[in-house]
């Protein structure tokens, strides 16, 4: 035994004698995860788990008279998928906020939960009389919890779990939207049959996270936005989408810390942004915020030092959208900014998310 080991064993046994042995236990998941390349520590244990999200929603449901909590279906692994509803008058315009089709994109969910809490306070008083709001946080709960039928051993984040893009069957839910609903994965089917087809939805913001290295004009973006680009989208649906984008863009530019680019996304109706617009005439906006909560490619994940502004970006987006719909100012929005908004490019040719 060399001297170092001996010293360690002495100090360990003296700690045990003091009953402090748990203090030297390694945190779960710490072994084998390297540092995270300049993006700060990527720590998943600060995020809501599925169960803590459900508890949070039930607490808000009990507190808020205007809120109703609905289960719209189940995930592959049998988790209930929840939707928070605020419907004061069925005649009002209705907006849907959707988060975490991709399980490893969670800060938008954290922001959506905070927004739900705000709806129960005086901060948005009056708004709910004039707009109906549907919020589905964490559509892909199995992916968010890493409870999937494939290996996540290469994923980089530290914490008590890994989060993945795919559902438990290794399917990308945001490529399911052109199918017959009976052929869809259960999470997408719940969304189509029990939300898109059942409610008269006018607007949707589909919230995602992309990698960390997208930029416009030499500056990293805090997020990028895009309207539906499928050629079968009706002109008035597209116009509504562009107006919704204008509301969000203006609200974030005003804040000073937001730097928004134009996302380069595909035309396929299998993508939610396009599919919801083509099939249900919903004016949609894709919002791709910076940085994922976990990934097997290191540069995609973003550490917790950026969490605050990304959550704030989500809350600002949701708040601006409901206010503009409630007071009808969305109708007067100038959409010409879309013609000059620069497309984002990538510093390392990362693959796009959506």
Q: Which is nearer to Zn ion, 105 or 142 (CB)?
A: 105
Q: Which is nearer to Zn ion, 39 or 100 (CB)?
A: 100
> In the complex with Zn ion, which residue's Cβ is closer, 282 or 292?
292
Q: How far is the CB of 54 from Zn ion (least distance, A)?
A: 22
Q: In what order do the strands lie in the sheet with 345-346?
A: 219-220, 214-216, 345-346
Token representation of residue 131: 């707009």
Query: Who's near 348: CB < 8 A, 6+ residues apart?
Result: 213, 299
| Residue with Cβ nearer Zn ion (120 or 268) | 268
- Residue 332 is classified by DSSP as G
């003296």: which residue's tokens? 14
Distance CA 282, CA 278 (A): 8
- Interstrand relation of 68-74 and 80-86 (parallel, antiparallel or unpaired): antiparallel
Smallest separation (angstroms) from Zn ion to the CB of 45: 22
**Helix (H) and strand (E) counts for the chain?**
9, 11
CB of 174 to Zn ion, least distance (A): 6
In the complex with Zn ion, the residue whose CB is nearer, 106 or 124, is 106
**Alpha-carbon separation of residue 295 from 102, 173, 206, 328 (angstroms):** 11, 17, 20, 40
- Pick 48 or 102: Cβ nearer Zn ion: 102
Nearest of 293, 275, 288 to residue 317 by alpha carbon: 288
Secondary structure class of 107 (helix, strand, coil): helix
- Give φ, ψ of 243 to 5 degrees: -70, -40
With a CB cutoff of 8 Å and minimum separation 6, the contacts of 25 are none
225: nearest Cα among 249, 252, 198: 249
Candidate ranges 25-33, 47-55, 182-190, 203-211; the one touching Zn ion (CB under 5 A): 203-211
Shortest Cβ distance from residue 206 to Zn ion (Å)? Answer: 8
Shortest gap between Cβ of 188 and Zn ion (angstroms)? 14
Q: How far apart are CA 312 and CA 15, in angstroms?
A: 43
**Minimum distance between the CB of residue 144 and Zn ion, rounded to whole angstroms?**
12
Q: Closer to Zn ion at the Cβ: 208 or 242? A: 208
Please return the burial class of 217, using the count of CB atoms within 10 Å of its CB with bins 0-12, 13-18 and 19+. exposed
Comparing every residue's Cβ against Zn ion, the nearest one is 208
For the bound state, the minimum distance from the C-beta of residue 102 to Zn ion, rounded and expressed in Å, comes to 4
Site string for Zn ion, 324-353 (x = CB under 5 A): -----------------------------x
- The nearest distance, CB 64 to Zn ion, in angstroms, is 29
Count of Cβ atoms closer than 10 Å to residue 115 Cβ: 24
Residue-by-residue DSSP string for 61-89: HHH-TT-EEEEEEE-TT-PEEEEEEE-S-
CB nearer to Zn ion: give 228 or 324: 228
- Closer of 105 and 202 to Zn ion (Cβ): 105
Q: How far is the CB of 88 from Zn ion (least distance, A)?
A: 31
Measured from the CB atom, is 144 or 324 closer to Zn ion? 144
**Judged by CB under 5 A, how many residues of this single chain contact Zn ion?**
4
Contact pattern from residue 85 through residue 124 relative to Zn ion, giving x for each residue in contact according to CB under 5 A and a dash for the rest = -----------------x--x-------------------
- Does 177 interact with Zn ion (rule: CB under 5 A)? no
> Distance (Å, rounded) from C-alpha 122 to C-alpha 308?
22
What minimum distance in Å lies between the beta carbon of 324 and Zn ion? 24
Report 206-245 residues binding Zn ion (CB under 5 A): 208
- Residues of this chain that interact with Zn ion (CB under 5 A) are 102, 105, 208, 353
């Amino acid at each position: 035994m060399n001297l170092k080991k001996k010293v360690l064993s002495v100090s360990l046994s003296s700690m045990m004698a003091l009953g402090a042995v748990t203090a030297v236990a390694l945190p779960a998941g710490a072994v084998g995860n390297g540092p995270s390349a300049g993006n700060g520590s990527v720590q998943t244990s600060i995020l809501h788990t599925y169960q803590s999200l459900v508890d949070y929603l039930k607490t808000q449901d009990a507190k808020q008279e205007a809120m109703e909590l609905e289960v719209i279906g189940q995930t592959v692994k049998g988790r209930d998928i929840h939707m928070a509803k605020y419907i004061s008058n069925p005649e009002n315009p209705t907006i849907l906020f959707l988060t975490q089709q991709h399980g490893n994109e969670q800060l938008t969910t954290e922001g959506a939960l905070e927004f739900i809490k705000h709806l129960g306070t005086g901060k948005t008083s009056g708004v709910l009389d004039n707009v109906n709001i549907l919020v589905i946080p964490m559509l892909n709960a199995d992916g968010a919890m890493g409870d999937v039928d494939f290996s996540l051993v290469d994923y980089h984040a530290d914490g008590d779990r890994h989060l993945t893009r795919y559902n438990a069957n290794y399917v990308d839910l945001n490529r399911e939207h052109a199918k017959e609903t009976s052929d869809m994965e259960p999470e997408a089917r719940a969304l189509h049959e029990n939300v898109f087809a059942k409610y008269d939805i006018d607007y949707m913001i589909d919230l995602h996270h992309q990698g960390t290295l997208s930029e416009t004009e030499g500056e990293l973006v805090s997020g990028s936005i895009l309207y539906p680009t499928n050629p079968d989208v009706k002109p008035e649906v597209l116009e509504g989408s562009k107006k919704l984008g204008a509301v969000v863009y203006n609200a974030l530019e005003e804040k000073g810390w937001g730097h928004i680019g134009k996302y380069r996304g595909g035309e396929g109706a299998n993508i939610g942004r396009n599919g919801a617009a083509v099939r249900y005439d919903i004016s949609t906006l894709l919002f791709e915020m910076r940085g994922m909560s976990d990934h097997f490619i290191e540069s995609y994940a973003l550490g917790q030092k950026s969490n605050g502004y990304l959550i704030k970006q989500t809350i600002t987006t949701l708040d601006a959208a409901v206010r503009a719909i409630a007071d009808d100012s969305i109708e007067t929005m100038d959409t010409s900014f879309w013609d000059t908004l620069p497309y984002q490019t990538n510093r390392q040719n990362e693959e796009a998310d959506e």
